[in-house]
Chains A and B, each alone.
Chain A
Amino acid sequence: MKPIPSSQITPESVYLNRRQILRGMGLGAGSLLVGACAAPSTGGSSSGDRSPDVAPLVEPDSVLSVTEAPPVASAATDELGQPLTSFEAVTNYNNFYEFTTSKEGVARLAEDFVATPWTVEVGGLVNNPQTFDVDGIKALADVEERIYRLRCVEAWSMVVPWSGIPLAALLKTVQPKAEAKFVRFETLSDPDRLPGQKSRAFTWPYAEGLRLDEAMHDLAILATGLYGRDLPAQNGAPIRLVVPWKYGFKSIKSIVRIDLVDEMPSTLWNDQAPSEYGFFANVNPEVDHPRWSQKSERRIEGGLRRIDTLPFNGYGDQVAQLYAGMDLTKWF
């Protein structure tokens, strides 16, 4: 059987788009000379191979606007040496049922999604309930880049350079009461802007939850960007949860509400099929799933070979102690 080279898995439109971006950036021969007088890149963090004085806009028909900086990341791999998944793949292969169940159809449907203005109401069992806009959340801590593996329950995975703040920073600001045990998150409910919510197959809006100690863990972040850009709509604009040691469906997108509660909240996938999707949903090769292999996974752009799935998605050293004494085959 002829293997499919990784170069073949990027759709042509993306190649064309990429070329257009390169052209837009003026990366043709001698462009760096031309770029010397141009405005600095708005990319945020600096990357080794990109000159800071590349002209961001030189052609009137460019697909770039000044706010759409070229995708940048501070490193080419995660801490295990696994290469980042390309910006094209990260932003064109998405599970976001609020738009469509077709993973490669989300980006197009999300094109016109407007994520401003946006507010996140934080309340429930807290001493200091507050409503934040996205800038308000970003101001709670230094926005930092986190390169995380994302392991979907469907047995595919990516490596994504997110940017965001620790969820703990937000929780500390609102001061959970003593009786608060869990955090409940809710996605925007608006079938006009999120047409997938017209489907009756699911109980919208999407809801997810974490135990309070999980939510306070430093690895759990509220992401507001990826690849140095604002979060694209298809990835959960303008703000989403990222919990890298759990299956991707826990990392709820486009959050409008966060509540501290005293009981384990009901969550969309757990409601849908409790035998398949547990509340904890820690990545665990020892707990089978009736549909997909949880022992191995396919890395997007990683070629044909499956790779072994790691307990807690490779973050066991940091998070395993959260579950000390728990039977993780029961609490899957």
Chain B
Amino acid sequence: MKRRILVVRIITYTAAAAPFAWLALRYLTNDLGFNPIETLTTVTGLSALTLLVASLACTPIATVTGWRWPNTARRPLGLWAFAYALAHMSVFIGLDYALDLRAVFAEGLAEKPYIVVGFLALLILTALTLTSTRAWQRRLGKRWKLLHRGAYMAGLLAVVHFRWAGAKDDPIAPLVWGGVVGLLLVLRLPAVRKRIAATRSRWSAARRTAATGAEAGAGEGTA
């Protein structure tokens, strides 16, 4: 079991760090394209969205499959999503607008709701990142769970941001992302969750009966 967690960690961290590494490599080989800021913005934004949705998917996957290991990937995926979202906003304000905060506010907040929506998503992710430690989990008790459901709100905001900010070229992609987040949200509804858990335990009970019938007396596991 421990070994499996280690493997999950390694895969999670490698996959999550890959876009950063790819951008670094492209920077070092002078290959960020003809519009480097656009490249940086797109890659960091899409990575943040992907990792956030992957993090949201952990619990529903665990619910449906009964596996425990997806839960160990949830926190690192969420933290990496925050890192990319922060990089995304830093590129936007620091490079694209060259720290001209007045322009960001005048033009951004007044006319471009995507900036507000994206900023809200980042604020939520910041709060979740700061309170992601065990100490904070203990300190907040029941409220911690409530707070961290905000991840779904961040996911929905991120999808809206994606639809409004970019994606002129692809009106379908944001719809797909929105559908995925919606599905994950449905899978987390208590009623749905209970039903899935009940179905699963019925199945595994049936399987166990079959298994014990076949290899009578065999141990339950090697743990």
Binding site for B on A (CB under 8 A): 1, 4, 7-12, 89, 92-93, 97, 101, 103-104, 154, 156, 201, 272, 288, 290-291, 293, 295-296, 298, 300-301, 304-306
CB-defined interface of B78-119 with A at 8 Å, one 1/0 digit per residue? 000000000000000011111000010001000111100000
The answer to whether A104 and B33 touch across the interface, beta carbons within 8 angstroms, is yes
The chain A residue with its CB closest to the CB of B40 is A4
The answer to whether A304 and B37 touch across the interface, beta carbons within 8 angstroms, is yes
- Smallest CB–CB gap between A270 and chain B, Å? 13
Q: For the complex, give the distance between the alpha carbons of A92 and B38 in Å.
A: 15
The 3 closest A-B pairs by CB, nearest first: A101-B169, A93-B34, A8-B30
- Smallest CB–CB gap between A154 and chain B, Å? 7
A-B contact pairs, 27 of them (CB 8 A): A1-B95, A7-B30, A8-B30, A8-B36, A9-B30, A9-B33, A11-B31, A12-B31, A89-B34, A93-B34, A103-B34, A104-B33, A154-B168, A156-B35, A156-B38, A201-B170, A201-B171, A288-B107, A288-B112, A290-B111, A290-B164, A291-B114, A291-B165, A295-B107, A298-B37, A300-B34, A306-B97
The chain B residue with its CB closest to the CB of A85 is B34
Q: For the complex, give the distance between the alpha carbons of A34 and B168 in Å.
A: 52
The chain B residue with its CB closest to the CB of A158 is B34
Q: Does B222 contact A (CB under 8 A)?
A: no
Q: Does B32 contact A (CB under 8 A)?
A: yes
- Smallest CB–CB gap between B90 and chain A, Å? 8
The answer to whether A306 and B165 touch across the interface, beta carbons within 8 angstroms, is no
- Smallest CB–CB gap between B36 and chain A, Å? 5
- Count A/B pairs, Cβ under 8 Å: 75
- Smallest CB–CB gap between B86 and chain A, Å? 14
The answer to whether A288 and B171 touch across the interface, beta carbons within 8 angstroms, is no
Given contacts A298-B35, A305-B98, contact A10 B30 (CB under 8 A): yes
Partner of A304, one of B29, B98, B112: B98
The answer to whether A1 and B111 touch across the interface, beta carbons within 8 angstroms, is no
| A contact residues around B94 at 8 Å (CB) | 1
| B contact residues around A104 at 8 Å (CB) | 33-34
Q: For the complex, give the distance between the alpha carbons of A293 and B164 in Å.
A: 13
Given contacts A103-B34, A201-B172, 4 further A-B contacts (CB under 8 A): A9-B30, A9-B32, A156-B35, A290-B113
The answer to whether A97 and B169 touch across the interface, beta carbons within 8 angstroms, is yes
| B contact residues around A301 at 8 Å (CB) | 34
The answer to whether A291 and B112 touch across the interface, beta carbons within 8 angstroms, is yes
| A contact residues around B103 at 8 Å (CB) | 293, 295-296
The answer to whether B164 and A12 touch across the interface, beta carbons within 8 angstroms, is no
Q: Does B166 contact A (CB under 8 A)?
A: yes
- Smallest CB–CB gap between A293 and chain B, Å? 6
The answer to whether A290 and B114 touch across the interface, beta carbons within 8 angstroms, is yes
Q: For the complex, give the distance between the alpha carbons of A10 and B31 in Å.
A: 7
| B contact residues around A293 at 8 Å (CB) | 103, 107
The chain A residue with its CB closest to the CB of B26 is A11
Q: For the complex, give the distance between the alpha carbons of A4 and B165 in Å.
A: 24
- Smallest CB–CB gap between B165 and chain A, Å? 6
Q: For the complex, give the distance between the alpha carbons of A86 and B92 in Å.
A: 26
The answer to whether A4 and B107 touch across the interface, beta carbons within 8 angstroms, is no
- Smallest CB–CB gap between B50 and chain A, Å? 18
The chain B residue with its CB closest to the CB of A276 is B168
The chain B residue with its CB closest to the CB of A10 is B30
Given contacts A290-B113, A305-B98, contact A11 B172 (CB under 8 A): no
* Chain B residues numbered 4-37 whose CB sits less than 8 Å from any CB in chain A: 27, 29-37
The chain B residue with its CB closest to the CB of A5 is B30
- Smallest CB–CB gap between A111 and chain B, Å? 18
Given contacts A154-B168, A291-B164, A306-B98, contact A4 B32 (CB under 8 A): yes
Q: For the complex, give the distance between the alpha carbons of A62 and B164 in Å.
A: 46
| A contact residues around B29 at 8 Å (CB) | 12
Q: For the complex, give the distance between the alpha carbons of A12 and B28 in Å.
A: 11
| B contact residues around A1 at 8 Å (CB) | 94-95
- Smallest CB–CB gap between B102 and chain A, Å? 12
The chain A residue with its CB closest to the CB of B91 is A1
| A contact residues around B37 at 8 Å (CB) | 298, 304
| B contact residues around A8 at 8 Å (CB) | 27, 30, 32, 36
| B contact residues around A103 at 8 Å (CB) | 34-35
The answer to whether A288 and B165 touch across the interface, beta carbons within 8 angstroms, is no
| A contact residues around B35 at 8 Å (CB) | 9, 93, 103, 156, 298, 300
Q: For the complex, give the distance between the alpha carbons of A263 and B112 in Å.
A: 33
- Smallest CB–CB gap between A6 and chain B, Å? 10
